[in-house]
A = this chain, B = another copy of it.
Amino acid sequence: MTIHDKFSRLGTDNAPGQEVRQKPGGLEAMMRGGRLEGRPVDFSHGDVDAFAPTPGSFEVFSEGVATGGCQAYTEYRGALTIRQELAERLTTFTGAPVDGEEGMIITPGSQGALFLAVASTVTRGDKVAIVQPDYFANRKLVEFLEGEMLPVRLHYERGEGRAGLDLDQLEDAFRAGAKVFLFSNPNNPVGVVYSREEIEAIAALASRYGATVIVDQLYARLVYSDVAYTHLRAGRIEAQNVITIMGPSKTESLSGYRLGVAFGSREVIARMEKLQAIVSLRAGGYSQAVLRTWFNEPEGWMAQRIRYHEAIRNDLLKVFRAGDGIRVRTTEAGSYVFPSLPALSVSGPDFVRILRLQSGVIVTPGTEFSPFSGNCVRLNFSQDHAAAVAASERIVALVERYRA
């Protein structure tokens, strides 16, 4: 494969946060009616102004700067004392032992952890099972590494109680030789949580076929009322076959510090460190200090954050469900909703651009997440509550206006 072919498959034009690089050419001819006024909302990511970073995070960063050299330069896998502190808290959170010394790496963002984990387990020609829909970078990582993607459908629209993973298709993928299964739980973009039965089935299948599972649990702390969350690593699966990825990011509004962690298989973590040495050396030294605040927030702070998000979720679900032909599954964790829209007179990606131009609302097109999601849009509702509701009403109004 030439370098041109390799990069022509790696599009970012519709990726969240990149909208500013789009040129509006050609849309005018399709547009109907005038602008809907209202406070602009960028649903492509959470609004750290609406939800402020963890109290004390900036102070801990400042102490990191004041500490100087030993904080600026750490082992490639991150400062040992910080890894050890985290290991203890993540053991409690996930319900299975975390080895801070040999079984954990701190990375520049959870995206950094995801890249390193996949690049440390997948090479050219390797088969990888990927959920559809799932986080848009998963597919791209496999393509960049010249692996072969074996899709596994998530039938999330079939209803609550389980995420809807097609377990037969997952077994087919393992049977066809998939050596890695990569998925997010809660699922991004749908916001559903895998049931205990689904997680147990994944563990059993991965063990039977000797596959490595990389589970992106970025939103595993932001779980809503009456939802049970099951940690894959705490189940019946060999510890060396699981890598769990988390990070203080959108839930804690700490994305600006670019921090992620991966933990689990010592062998894979050792490879990830070797690779980090040539990809980015290490997560920012001073930023690493911010991890001291993680899973260490003031009493009640996280519970309140969950309550606020649940209230926004409830209102957004009402707005979308009032729209004729709009369907949306209830978000169980994280801050995404993924409504599917009725047939429109313009394509999904064009509607997304029209939304930006006519209503000041930025969403991410469903095509980023699966080939079957062209009629969906993803919203990160970690936003100012009133602004998010008003912006969702403008989406519904424009759906009405552009209905086919």
**Residues of A participating in the B interface, judged by any CB pair closer than 8 Å:** 1-3, 6-7, 10-12, 15, 17-18, 20-21, 45, 47-49, 53, 58, 61-62, 64-65, 68-69, 71-76, 80, 108-109, 111-112, 114-115, 120-124, 126, 137, 140-141, 144, 146, 255-258, 271, 273-275, 277-287
B20 near A75 with CB under 8 A, answer yes
A271 CA to B114 CA, complexed, in Å: 19
| B residues less than 8 Å from A17 (CB atoms) | 73-76
A1 near B123 with CB under 8 A, answer yes
Given A3-B126, A17-B75, A256-B284, the answer on whether A278 and B112 have CB atoms closer than 8 Å is: no
| B residues less than 8 Å from A21 (CB atoms) | 75
B280 near A144 with CB under 8 A, answer no
Residue of B10, B146, B271, B281 near A7 (CB, 8 A) is B271
A45 CA to B76 CA, complexed, in Å: 13
| B residues less than 8 Å from A287 (CB atoms) | 258, 284, 287
A108 near B111 with CB under 8 A, answer no
Q: Which of chain B's residues has its CB closest to A6's CB?
A: B123
Q: How far is the CB of A76 from chain B (nearest CB, A)?
A: 7
| B residues less than 8 Å from A108 (CB atoms) | 108, 112, 258, 280, 284
Given A48-B69, A58-B62, A72-B48, the answer on whether A280 and B255 have CB atoms closer than 8 Å is: no
Given A1-B123, A274-B10, the answer on whether A68 and B45 have CB atoms closer than 8 Å is: no
A58 CA to B17 CA, complexed, in Å: 26
A49 near B75 with CB under 8 A, answer no
A80 CA to B80 CA, complexed, in Å: 36
Q: Which of chain B's residues has its CB closest to A253's CB?
A: B72
Q: Which of chain B's residues has its CB closest to A137's CB?
A: B278
| B residues less than 8 Å from A64 (CB atoms) | 256
Given A69-B49, A75-B21, the answer on whether A280 and B258 have CB atoms closer than 8 Å is: yes
